[in-house]
Structure 1
Amino acid sequence: MNSKNPFSLIDKTILITGASSGIGQGIAIACAGQGAKVLLMGRNVERLEETVQLCANGLGHAYFSVDLQQVGGWQEELTAFLKAHAPIQGFVHAAGISPTIPLKVMKSQQMLDCFQLNVFSAVQLIQLITKPGIKSPEGMSVVLISSVMSEAGEKGKSLYAMTKAALVALVKSLALEYAEKRIRFNAVSPAVVDTPLSLGSHYRKEEEAMREVLKQHPLGLGSAADVGNASVFLLSEASRWVTGTNLIVDGGYLAR
């Protein structure tokens, strides 16, 4: 532990999914800014390379291109990649999709696709990184990016909300299951953050809808850096006594 700065990530290697853009990219930049070596995961190689450049801090950052919506076929190659960069002290699962689907037209395949990326891939990755030879023997911090939709409802967001609530439930049980191994599990739940994904949302196209969204956030909309800084806290020794919790980062959304 860095006695001068408990928020430092110096000498830590952090694996981050969804790192090619948006919240995942913001988390990668924040981690690198605190001295971490970052291992980036995403589908788009060019954007992963851009994130590597934005994370420049003199360390040997690396990336692994993969489509986590694929149930299998990537675990063996990823395991080799992780072992080559071990030990790993932190993992952030920021990859995800946010479908808006009314219940009456929701299809089974849509549910499976959303759960695969938002939840099942997180479980698969946790199973990999907690193996001997990959995880740090001194412990690890796992951060799953959830959403305020895990705590509040919204029309058409039932599928998305189910997956994000599942992540919150997951960290609570895993926090107890892995406490003796010094592996901490926490979630971060943001409200609306300015990202390429949110910029394409339906409310951005209607002035009245956008005003309503802004009214729901007393401190205004968030940035990827806001979620990145919250993640740094949970990855660092500053949160060494924090596990099994859901950190709300929402600009006052849930306080209304």
Structure 2
Amino acid sequence: MVADVQTDGGKETVQMIIDTGGEAIFVKTDVSKAAEVMALVDSAVSTYGRLDCAFNNAGIEGTMAPTADCTEENWDRVIAVNLKGVWLCMKYEIPEMLKRGNGAIVNTASFLGLVGLQGAPAYCTSKGGVIQLTRTAALEYATKGIRINAVCPGVIRTPMLERVTGGKPELEALFTAREPVGRMGAPGEVAEAVVWLCSDAASFVTGHPLVVDGGFVAQ
């Protein structure tokens, strides 16, 4: 199941999956709205009969501004999507997994949930919250067969990063210079970590914020 608030991107992802021999369905979903998240999970179960794993990845960066200049509107929107959205997804995913006695959930946090970034108070707070929410839920359902982890990407070349840098080479160079490995990460490198966390190969891993950041946080 592919879910996004952006229809074009969601349908494009579905087509990519189909083109590689897979099966996929798109459901337009705003993760900050409980009714839409509930409908998404219901659709997954009605289509496939069960829910084995979930990757709660929706997120926005919001508007960059120092803490005292962050608007209430920006704060509320970032928290609603990045933190409340993850909570709502788990709220409706977990009961379905409990019915089967097993499942795996991966939430997207960020290396900025572990370190701060000037000008991003709402974003950093939301991602730190995802890590703590992940740990709490992991402990609650550890004996129920459900593993819950988070992935914490570093500087990854994505449309979000391009919006932050404005496509300016000098700003991209600043981000890259902070990476010990000397380059930005690729989305596929994060995806590999998520797939592993969802797999039985990670059967003894739960409540863990897995950092995929080229060594940034280790500095």
Name the TM-score, length of structure 2 as normaliser.
Answer: 0.90
Which residue of structure 2 aligns with residue 117 of structure 1?
81
Match of 1:192, SS state, is coil
The residue number in structure 2 matching 1:127 is 91
After superposition, residues 146-157 of structure 1 pair within 5 angstroms as 146-157=109-120
Corresponding residue number in structure 1 for 2:175 = 213
Shift, 1:51, TM fit: 0.7
Offset at 1:202?
Answer: 2.8
What percentage of aligned pairs have identical amino acids? 25
Higher relative contact order (CA 8 A, sep 6+): 1
Distance 2:37 2:27 in 1: 11
Which amino acid is 1:150 matched to?
A: G
- TM-superposed CA distance for 1:44, in Å, is 2.2
Q: Is the 8 Å Cα contact of residues 89 and 135 (structure 1) preserved in structure 2? A: no
CA distance in 1, matches of 2:208, 2:38: 31
Deviations for 1:136-184, whole angstroms, at most 9, x for unmatched residues?
6141111011111111111101211100000111111111100121111
* Residues 190 and 227 in structure 1, CA contact (< 8 A), matched pair in contact too: yes
Maintained 8 Å contact 1:86/1:136: no
For 2:164, which of 167, 184, 201 is the aligned residue? 201
Change (3 A) 1:164 1:76: closer
Cα deviation for residue 59 of structure 1 reads 3.9
Provide the residue aligned with 1:46 in structure 2: 8
Which one of the candidate residues 133, 139, 142 is aligned to 2:102? 139
| Distance in 2, Cα, partners of 1:80 & 1:178 | 21
The number of aligned residues is 215
Which structure 2 segments of 5+ residues have no match? none
**Partner residue of 1:81 out of 24, 36, 43:** 43
Shift of 1:77: 2.9
Q: Aligned AA for 2:130?
A: L
Summarize deviations over 1:78-116 as a string: whole Å, max 9, x none. Answer: 343122123111111111011222112222222111111
Instruction: Show the counterpart of 2:53.
Output: 90
Q: Which has the higher helix share?
A: 2
After superposition, the Cα gap between the structure-2 partners of 1:255 and 1:72, relative to the gap in structure 1 and judged at 3 Å, is closer
CA shift, 1:206, in A, is: 5.1
Paired amino acid for 1:83: V
- Structure 1 residues 23-62: aligned runs within 5 Å: 39-56=1-18, 57-62=20-25
Q: How large is the RMSD of aligned CA atoms in angstroms?
A: 1.8
Q: Distance in 2 between matches of 1:64 and 1:163?
A: 24
Q: Distance in 1 between matches of 2:169 and 2:44?
A: 44
Amino acid of the residue matched to residue 64 of structure 1?
A: V
User: Contact 2:107–2:130 (CA<8 Å) still a contact in 1?
Assistant: yes
Contact 1:42 1:67 in 2 (8 A): yes
Q: What secondary structure sits across from 1:176 in the alignment?
A: helix
Task: Specify which of 45, 63, 67 is matched with residue 103 of structure 1.
Answer: 67
Q: Which moved more, 1:93-102 or 1:186-195?
A: 93-102
